[in-house]
Amino acid sequence: MIMNAEQKYIDISWDFRSANTKQYTHCYHNYPAMMIPQIAHRLIELYGKNAKTLFDPYCGTGTSLVEANLQGINAFGTDINPMARLIAEAKTTLIELQILDLYLKEFNDFLFSLVFGIQKPNIVMTNFKNIDFWFTKEVKEKLAVIKWFINSIKDENIKKFFLVAFSETIRESSLTRNSEFKLYRMSEKQRVNFNPDVYGAINYKLARNRIGLKDYITQKKNSSETKIYAFDSSKNISEIEEESIDIVVTSPPYGDSKTTVAYGQFSRLSNQWLGFENASQLDNQLMGGKLQNIKNSGIDIVDNLVAKIADKDEKRAKEVYSFYKDYINSISNVSKVIKKNGYACYVVGNRRVKDITLPTDEITKYIFQEHGFEYKNTFIRNIPNKRMPSKNSPTNEIGKKATTMNKEYIVIVQKQ
């Protein structure tokens, strides 16, 4: 352990190298740069001992919300990605296994009747721009059949359970390179040999998710509840009552979605199949997605960094400024809903742009201090198992790559 006077130190106990990150409903769906549940669990244990409410202003697929519920804490989350909200809602929803099993059997019987030609439902094909670019005719037909069955489910909670497995199946059955977050089509050679087992894939995911759900039901304490919203915390947070939250546990985006982790592109095909509007524009709506003219942000660290980047690339400077401007607004809003003596725990990454390291941990600490919070400490952890790009192109020169974030910074502050 390396420690300095600022209470900022490396602590390998936060690495959780051998931990099972797919326990309970955390197994439901892959998603970029997910906070591992062990971090959320430990933060809640350390700083939320008597907490009744937790808030995650960038909740993604709901890791912290699940962990709050497992510890008997009511959870509130928000995210503007419809697919992420769907997954988070499903992961925090209890379903009677006996009822679920009836639907699972009905689904298996349905697929059996299709395979053997016993049943031929009148399916309406899904259509959206470039669908034929990403899906073969056979895969499209099978996905449409699955969607038809799911749409016939009357129980909304059961339907969400199926939709989550369907969403993951969509991406894995597409002609995308699944190792990427951004949408890249497979090579011609790969497409020739690509023949996904669509029905087998969704059945596997349904079975896997049922096991996770059963474990979640067994482990969940008391009647804690979750509410998930679609508001943008950088603009408006009125759905959450002021000074009503005991603890915030969150992992905000590392940077704007277009140049860092492409949440919108990762989710696009699922969002389109699920019928969500403007799926192709999601990256523009996420934090920092809308370019803003560079002005004084009110945070010297940010302004100095932006000026350095602007000397090399004006556009990249605007992207960095736009992200941090939204981030500053978001923390300003989040600070209002936390109770006196409540904690905010932010798991952040310090990315590099134009060979300049952006110290988001220090920026986070400073913004909260400006809003009446006392800085406690920062745990520095290695990232051994977080699904995110390992390299990027900081100079935009073809073939020139640099290692991206290999550490995370867990910033702890307390409201005074």
Counting residues of the chain whose pLDDT is more than 70, the rounded percentage is: 94
Q: Note whether 287 and 341 are same-domain residues.
A: yes
3-state secondary structure of 376: strand
Q: Note whether 41 and 133 are same-domain residues.
A: no
On whether residue 242 sits in a domain, the answer given is: yes
Please classify residue 235 by burial: count the beta carbons closer than 10 Å to its beta carbon, then call 0-12 exposed, 13-18 middle and 19+ buried: exposed
pLDDT per residue over 366-386, tens digit each? 999 999 999 999 999 998 765
3-state secondary structure of 390: coil
pLDDT per residue over 376-413, tens digit each? 999 999 987 655 554 444 444 544 444 556 899 999 99
Q: State CA 358 to chain mean position distance.
A: 21
How many whole angstroms separate alpha carbon 124 and alpha carbon 147? 10
Q: What pTM was computed for the model?
A: 0.93
Question: Is-contact 268 279, C-beta < 8 A?
Answer: yes
- Provide the 10 A C-beta neighbour count for residue 1: 9
Between 108 and 385, name the one with better pLDDT: 108
Which tokens belong to 73?
């804490």
Q: Is the pLDDT of residue 274 over 90?
A: yes
Domain extent, residue 204, equals 97-217
Question: Is-contact 224 72, C-beta < 8 A?
Answer: yes
Q: Note whether 337 and 405 are same-domain residues.
A: yes
pLDDT per residue over 204-223, tens digit each? 999 999 999 999 999 987 88
Which tokens belong to 56?
């995650």
Q: Note whether 316 and 388 are same-domain residues.
A: yes
Q: Is the pLDDT of residue 84 over 90?
A: yes
pLDDT per residue over 314-333, tens digit each? 999 999 999 999 999 999 99
Average of per-residue pLDDT across 120-125: 81
Task: Give the chain's domain count.
Answer: 2
On whether residue 3 sits in a domain, the answer given is: no
- Provide the 10 A C-beta neighbour count for residue 101: 11
pLDDT at 98: 97
Q: State CA 40 to chain mean position distance.
A: 14
Question: Is-contact 350 405, C-beta < 8 A?
Answer: yes
In terms of Cα–Cα distance, which of 371, 367, 311 is closest to 340? 371
Say which residue the tokens 């006996």 belong to. 98
Distances in Å between the Cα of 44 and the Cα atoms of 183, 187, 250 are 35, 45, 11
Q: Note whether 376 and 229 are same-domain residues.
A: yes
How many whole angstroms separate alpha carbon 350 and alpha carbon 72? 32
On whether residue 2 sits in a domain, the answer given is: no
> Which one of 185, 217, 249 terminates a domain?
217
pLDDT at 386: 56
Q: Note whether 241 and 319 are same-domain residues.
A: yes
Q: State CA 276 to chain mean position distance.
A: 17
Q: How many residues make up the chain in this entry? A: 416
- 179: which DSSP letter? T
How many whole angstroms separate alpha carbon 390 and alpha carbon 398? 17
How many whole angstroms separate alpha carbon 247 and alpha carbon 43? 9
3-state secondary structure of 76: strand
Region label for 201, one of left (φ > 0), alpha (ψ between -120 and 50) or beta (otherwise):
alpha
> Which one of 177, 198, 217 terminates a domain?
217
Window from 27-31, 110-114, 178-182 with minimum mean pLDDT = 178-182
> Which one of 163, 194, 217 terminates a domain?
217
Distances in Å between the Cα of 31 and the Cα atoms of 203, 245, 363 are 20, 26, 26
Region label for 269, one of left (φ > 0), alpha (ψ between -120 and 50) or beta (otherwise):
alpha
Q: Note whether 262 and 394 are same-domain residues.
A: yes
Q: What angle do CA 60, 61, 66 make, to 5 degrees?
A: 115
CATH of the domain at 87: 3.40.50.150
On whether residue 263 sits in a domain, the answer given is: yes
How many whole angstroms separate alpha carbon 393 and alpha carbon 385? 22
Which tokens belong to 315?
């556009």
How many whole angstroms separate alpha carbon 210 and alpha carbon 217? 10
